[in-house]
């Protein structure tokens, strides 16, 4: 009759104890970390899928960051356009208030128009985090600089570069306007018209000279400039709405991906705890068997 030797029995028990100990450690690690696996070797296919999901989440998060940057830039731009629009309306009111009966009042109106022009230059040279909003790609250069020759009063130092922001694969949006377009510098928007600042300069001169015809011509130009600014603001509003819709879509996509990642890498704690308890019982039984073998006497083998 084949007899199994004590060393063989001991070796089997030790092997089973080692396996049980490894499973026990793995379950304890899952309970402590909340993760189904910590290294790729523990679940190669799960690790590959988790890596792909994390990469997708990072990509969506990057697009969301782009959307936030674009929304902030456009919001500041819209605020500057609103200020320019108010300035043009105030200049229009000044032109309408001109009267032949009160030349002194016309001088005060001219001073008001001069201050409006200064404010519009400030708006056009607005910055965000050290970058000029209306300079195109030349964001470190002030868009407007005084013209040494006087006419036109300001020169454009930026370029017509469009800053595009990526909101998804193959989805981009223009996030800037340039001062040439906004103020019609160098006839960028309408070659047949003076730029906004030249119009204001002519209006100031006309008011100081009590020039009725000159004031009327400037009033007509101001109305056209104001209408164009309104159109630009509407365009910005449409872009901002597009960005908000994109952000909603991206947030939904990120939540979905995070849910899928949780399914892949998060441990089912209820199931793990039950399995952990079962493994503890099995380990204790194996340990008891090993201890019993260690205590066996000569009489046990003579029976």
Residue 129, pLDDT above cutoff 80: yes
pLDDT tens-place string over residues 54-105: 999 999 999 999 999 999 999 999 999 999 999 999 999 999 998 887 778 8
Please, what is the average pLDDT of the chain? 84
Residue 227, pLDDT above cutoff 70: yes
DSSP H or E stretch at residue 134: none
CA-CA-CA-CA dihedral for 70, 237, 113, 187, to nearest 10: 80
| β-strands 131-132, 127-128 pairing | antiparallel
Of 38-42, 108-112, 138-142, 262-266, give the lowest mean pLDDT range: 38-42
147 or 265, higher pLDDT: 147
Local structure of 190: helix, strand or coil: coil
In CATH, the number for domain 53-260 is 1.20.1330.10
Beta strands in the chain (DSSP E): 127-128, 131-132, 144-146, 154-156, 164-168, 171-174
CB 126 within 8 A of CB 158: no
The pLDDT value given to residue 96? 94
Neighbouring-strand partners of residue 145:
155
pLDDT tens-place string over residues 152-172: 899 999 999 999 999 999 999
């Amino acid at each position: 009759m084949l007899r199994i030797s004590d060393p063989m029995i001991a070796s089997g028990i030790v092997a089973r104890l080692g396996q049980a100990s490894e499973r026990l450690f793995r379950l304890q690690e899952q309970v402590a970390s909340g993760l189904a696996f910590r290294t790729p070797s523990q679940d190669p296919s799960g690790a590959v899928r988790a890596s792909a999901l994390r990469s997708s989440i990072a990509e969506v998060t990057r697009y969301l960051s782009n959307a936030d940057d674009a929304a902030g830039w456009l919001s500041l731009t819209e605020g500057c356009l609103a200020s320019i629009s108010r300035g043009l309306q105030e200049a229009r009111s000044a032109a309408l208030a001109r009267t032949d009966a009160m030349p002194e009042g016309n001088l005060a109106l001219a001073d008001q128009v001069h201050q409006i022009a200064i404010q519009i230059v400030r708006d056009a040279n607005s910055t965000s985090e050290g970058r000029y909003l209306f300079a195109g790609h030349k964001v470190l250069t002030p868009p407007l600089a005084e013209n040494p020759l006087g006419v036109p009063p300001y020169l454009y130092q930026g370029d017509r570069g469009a800053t595009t922001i990526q909101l998804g694969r193959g989805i981009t949006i223009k996030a800037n306007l340039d001062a040439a377009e906004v103020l019609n510098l160098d006839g960028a928007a309408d070659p047949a018209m003076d730029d906004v600042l030249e119009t204001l300069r002519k209006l100031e001169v006309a008011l100081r000279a009590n020039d009725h015809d000159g004031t009327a011509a400037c009033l007509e130009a101001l109305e056209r400039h104001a209408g164009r600014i309104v159109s630009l603001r509407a365009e910005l509003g449409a872009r901002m709405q597009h960005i908000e819709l994109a952000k909603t879509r991206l947030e939904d996509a990120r939540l979905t991906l995070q849910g899928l990642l949780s399914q892949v890498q998060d441990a089912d704690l209820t199931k793990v705890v039950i399995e952990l308890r079962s493994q503890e019982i099995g380990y204790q039984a194996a340990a008891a068997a090993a201890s019993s073998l260690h205590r066996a006497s000569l009489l046990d083998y003579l029976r």
